[in-house]
Amino acid sequence: MHLPEELQIELDQILEGASSTLLKKARESLSATYHEGGSSRSIFQDPAQKLAYLATRMPATYGAVYKVLSQIATPCSHFLDLGAGPGTASWAASEWFPGLTQITCVERSPEAIELGKQLAQGRALLKQAAWLRHSLSEPFPIPPSDVAVLSYVLGELPDPEELVKRLWQGPIGCLILIEPGTPKGFQLIRTLREQLIGAGAHIAAPCPHAFACPIQGADWCHFSARIERTRLHRLLKGGTLGHEDEKFSYIVASRKPVPPFAGRVVRPPQKGSGHVRLPLCTNQGQLQEKVVTRSHKELYRQARDAEWGDHWM
Ligand SMILES: C[S@@+](CC[C@H](N)C(=O)[O-])C[C@H]1O[C@@H](n2cnc3c(N)ncnc32)[C@H](O)[C@@H]1O
């Protein structure tokens, strides 16, 4: 997956003049900030860390949001991007939803808002987006939306449960929560999933059921988005691969009932000769490995096409 061309052009322009030595240092301190559980507030205030975020994290979070949006069938004309940062999720929404006409971004950092506006120059829909400066931790009037996204934000908040409660009482059709695909990120998603089900939400993805999550012990439910790397990205993060795999955990809560499906592929399928092993979470609320052999022609063809994160049947 690539970033939209207009976004990549703006990013290249912003990053062009920056010294790679400075950016490398900034990238290291950006990682340290995240590993220490720090927030993005300081990142957008620091000119070098801000650039390092644009070069390395924005493509990854874009990839995760795009992958999540591709798992839902909800139409969307008004999109709400909460804790928008430089508007990453809005770019993914503008690529994914054909009927999108309005974007509202909520963000507390004036530096992030300024950056988001600067990046939006090449695409009218993003350029016309409304930017609201609010803290998500304080009550604010929630703009009506078909789809609202919190992408890599909840882990930075002191009380994510309170925010999700407030949002679900608001005029939002479908609420998407995305966190890093780590045990910590997943634990938060699992807690908020239970809260949303308790509040009457229908889970559209990834779970094919509303039973208790069957993932036990040290395991965690997460998925992966593959993003092509730019030359600068390789320079800053090292390694030789032409792509990066961003791991994320997520939940999509819908106000309306969602079409049922049999299962979700929760790990990479193992494709052998004449058979495919699909690790599924099923609509009975259980983890199950389904083995599909070549003798089931049509099913086998579908199993060979199935990827980690896809829904099954
Ligand atoms: C890791 S960044 C993610 C940005 C963007 N959503 C993305 O996926 O790239 C977290 C964002 O949440 C914002 N944020 C954190 N706490 C916030 C709060 N209390 N109110 C509003 N925004 C907040 C930060 O300023 C930052 O822009």
Residue ranges per structural domain of the chain = 5-254, 263-312
Contacts of 148 (CB under 8 A, 6+ apart): 79, 80, 81, 82, 167, 172, 174, 175, 176
* Segment 90-132, tens digit of pLDDT: 999 999 999 999 999 999 999 999 999 999 999 999 999 999 9
Q: Find out whether 179 and 185 touch, Cβ atoms under 8 Å.
A: yes
Tally the residues of the chain. Answer: 313
Give the nearest ligand 1 atom to 138 CA. 19
Q: Tell me the pLDDT band of 43, cut-offs 50, 70 and 90.
A: confident
Q: What is the mean pLDDT of residues 159-188?
A: 97
CA of 90 to the centre of ligand 1 (A): 13
* Segment 230-240, tens digit of pLDDT: 777 777 777 77
Q: Of the residues 115, 137, 156, 250, which should be mutated to test ligand 1's pocket, given the most ligand atoms within 8 Å of the CB?
A: 156
Atom 26 of ligand 1, residue of closest alpha carbon: 85
Q: Enumerate the H helices of 36-150 as residue ranges.
A: 41-45, 47-52, 58-69, 88-96, 110-119, 124-127
Residues with CB under 6 Å of ligand 1 are: 39-41, 58, 61, 83-85, 88-89, 107-109, 112, 135-137, 151-153, 156-157
Give the nearest ligand 1 atom to 65 CA. 8
Please compute Rg for the chain using Cα positions.
Answer: 20
> pLDDT at position 190, please?
98
What is the reported pTM?
0.96
Atom 24 of ligand 1, residue of closest alpha carbon: 40
Q: Of the residues 31, 36, 40, which should be mutated to test ligand 1's pocket, given the most ligand atoms within 8 Å of the CB?
A: 40
CA distance 23 to 68: 30
CA of 276 to the centre of ligand 1 (A): 40
Yes or no: is domain 5-254 CATH 3.40.50.150? yes
CA distance 300 to 98: 32
CA of 151 to the centre of ligand 1 (A): 8
Atom 8 of ligand 1, residue of closest alpha carbon: 151
CA of 107 to the centre of ligand 1 (A): 6
Give the nearest ligand 1 atom to 137 CA. 19
> pLDDT at position 79, please?
98
| Pairing relationship of beta strands 270-271 and 275-282 according to DSSP bridges | antiparallel
- Indicate the angle between helix axes 5-16 and 110-119, nearest 10 degrees: 120
Q: Tell me the pLDDT band of 202, cut-offs 50, 70 and 90.
A: very high
